Amino acid sequence: MSVRFLHMADVHLGNQQYNLSARFNDFGRAFLDAVDLALDQRVDAVLIAGDLFHKATVEPKTLLIAEEGLARLQARGIAALAVHGNHDRARYLAQASWVDYLAERGLVRLLSPVFVEGGLLLEPETSYIELDGVRFVGVPWLGAAAPRVLREVAVACADLNASRPCFTVLITHGGVEGQMPHMPGGLTFAELEPLKGIVQYLALGHLHKPYCVDDWIYNPGSLETCSFDEAQYERGVYLVDVTGRETHIAEHRRTAMRPFFTINVQTDLCLTPDDLVAAARAEIAQAARKIRPVVDQCSDRERALPVVRLVLRGNLTFDRTRLEADVLHRMMRDEIEALHSRVENHTSPLKTSTVNTETLGRNELEKAIFEDQARGDSRFAGQAEAWGNLMQAMKALVLDGADPAAVYDLLDGHMAALEDGGHVDH
Ligand SMILES: [Mn+2]
């Protein structure tokens, strides 16, 4: 027995990330590269474990790339086996998806159990195919129904093995719990347990990060980076040799992809917008020194240009309206040759007092909140109490229907007193 297959998932064809045609092309190129790897490796089958397409609605140019890659496999007699993911299944029940269309054209085998009253059946050709002692079974994205359906699939697979024992590959789209910290949920090990020993290779998709559990659960990761949340992970495909009724060798192969780069700027010690610009300038210069040689070394310069983001983290010590995001953005564009650069503000406003809302009266609570606002801005923080008092006094004037000029005079007098370094008493 000797069957070799390539397992990919989460191709997300058609993802025009950041509205850039270059990113659209990256996703297409990643797919065609993986197809070419399958041809080079002379595999018998290619598994696409869901999310071939980024969206249920597919543009003609996206469809052309899918058809081109699948036709290359077909021309060499390589079976392409797919299941629906959450991104590319039909949007409405009983409607056909674009993967259904590809299956109708004979370019992929789209596998699924046959759901019947009170259960499911595994039918040859529809639910599984067999290649030289290896049975490939497909189950689409199921969401919350996955644990129940997988239990029934395990029973059906065991029945098939009883009549004809095979190395069983189960292709489905679903994550395993705990693999990605910001994505809770997913299948638990208890829910996967019924498949153990019956399925020798569980071919997953869904989480865009490669992982392997206990040499039988495999997730290759997406081929390209769909968001900065997943940019830290390597990605690629699994190349698998089935060597016996219950034995296989799997190798994770990285595939080429667009580099992503994050520049972090800690804002806590920046007391003014100028401090922040200076801190960002230093970080950007450092990043530029790292990125430039990598781009220069690459033969395909256009593909080596990174997607870069500058992230502001920590407490912001001044009012966020004084943040000059366009200045930061211009610095990035001037210093780093990138495909795309962006600035993200993940800071929180500074909070220093702990206002106990349970015990304070309305008037005291209001004063505490005004003081807090002053404390959150480095221009006012030094005299937060005085500014708090002033805000409260101005509010009272306005509510009393005072003349705007009187409100202005109050503010003006306060500013003059502060500039003199004097104490303001109300
Ligand atoms: Mn996906």
pLDDT digits (tens, 9 = 90+) for 80-122: 999 999 998 887 766 899 999 999 999 999 999 999 998 999 9
Could you tell me the distance, in angstroms and rounded to a whole number, from the CA of residue 12 to the centre of ligand 1? 7
Residues 6 or more apart from 379 whose CB is under 8 A from it? 318
Q: What is the mean pLDDT of residues 276-297?
A: 93
CA 280/CA 344 separation, integer angstroms: 12
Q: What is the mean pLDDT of residues 292-311?
A: 91
In the block, residue with structure tokens 């769909």: 226
Could you tell me the distance, in angstroms and rounded to a whole number, from the CA of residue 80 to the centre of ligand 1? 18
Could you tell me the distance, in angstroms and rounded to a whole number, from the CA of residue 205 to the centre of ligand 1? 7
Contact 52, 35 (CB under 8 A): no
Q: What is the mean pLDDT of residues 275-295?
A: 94
DSSP-based helix, strand, coil % in the chain, nearest 5: 40, 20, 40
Could you tell me the distance, in angstroms and rounded to a whole number, from the CA of residue 395 to the centre of ligand 1? 52
- Whether residue 379 is predicted with pLDDT greater than 80 in this model: the reply is no
Could you tell me the distance, in angstroms and rounded to a whole number, from the CA of residue 221 to the centre of ligand 1? 9
pLDDT band at 45 (very low <50, low <70, confident <90, very high): very high
CATH superfamily entry for domain 3-254:
Metallo-dependent phosphatases (3.60.21.10)
pTM: predicted TM-score of the whole model, two decimal places: 0.82
Could you tell me the distance, in angstroms and rounded to a whole number, from the CA of residue 183 to the centre of ligand 1? 12
Residue type, 219: N
Q: What are phi and psi of 241, to 5 degrees?
A: -110, 120
Residue 423 has a pLDDT of: 46
Query: Which token pair is 13?
Result: 């064809």
Residue 43 has a pLDDT of: 98
pLDDT tens for 316-335 read 888 888 888 899 999 999 99
Could you tell me the distance, in angstroms and rounded to a whole number, from the CA of residue 173 to the centre of ligand 1? 9
pLDDT band at 160 (very low <50, low <70, confident <90, very high): very high
- Whether residue 420 is predicted with pLDDT greater than 70 in this model: the reply is no
Give, to the nearest 10 degrees, the angle between helix 21-40 and helix 60-75: 10
Could you tell me the distance, in angstroms and rounded to a whole number, from the CA of residue 114 to the centre of ligand 1? 24
Q: Which of 77-81, 200-204, 262-266, 323-327 has the lowest mean pLDDT?
A: 323-327
Could you tell me the distance, in angstroms and rounded to a whole number, from the CA of residue 400 to the centre of ligand 1? 59
Could you tell me the distance, in angstroms and rounded to a whole number, from the CA of residue 85 to the centre of ligand 1? 7
The burial class, CB within 10 Å (0-12 / 13-18 / 19+), for 303 is middle
CA 4/CA 309 separation, integer angstroms: 40
- Whether residue 421 is predicted with pLDDT greater than 70 in this model: the reply is no
Strand order in the sheet with 45-48: 109-110, 79-82, 45-48, 3-8, 236-242, 248-254
Q: What is the mean pLDDT of residues 151-157?
A: 97
Query: Which token pair is 124?
Result: 């040859």
CA 125/CA 79 separation, integer angstroms: 12
Instruction: Characterize the bridge pairing of strands 248-254 and 236-242.
Output: antiparallel
**Which 8-state DSSP code applies to residue 187?**
B
CA 35/CA 68 separation, integer angstroms: 10
Residue 253 has a pLDDT of: 96
Query: Which token pair is 236?
Result: 């690629």
Query: Which token pair is 294?
Result: 């990598």
Contact 366, 390 (CB under 8 A): no
Residue 290 has a pLDDT of: 93
Query: Which token pair is 337?
Result: 């040759």
- Whether residue 156 is predicted with pLDDT greater than 90 in this model: the reply is yes
Could you tell me the distance, in angstroms and rounded to a whole number, from the CA of residue 356 to the centre of ligand 1? 45
Residues 6 or more apart from 406 whose CB is under 8 A from it? 397
Could you tell me the distance, in angstroms and rounded to a whole number, from the CA of residue 16 to the centre of ligand 1? 14
Query: Which token pair is 193?
Result: 């347990």
pLDDT tens for 59-80 read 999 999 999 999 999 999 999 9
- Whether residue 425 is predicted with pLDDT greater than 50 in this model: the reply is no
pLDDT tens for 335-364 read 999 999 999 999 987 765 556 666 777 788
Q: What b-and-e string marks burial along 99-135, b requiring 16 or more CB atoms within 10 Å of the CB?
A: bbbbbeeebbbbbbbeeeeeebebeeeebbbbbeebb
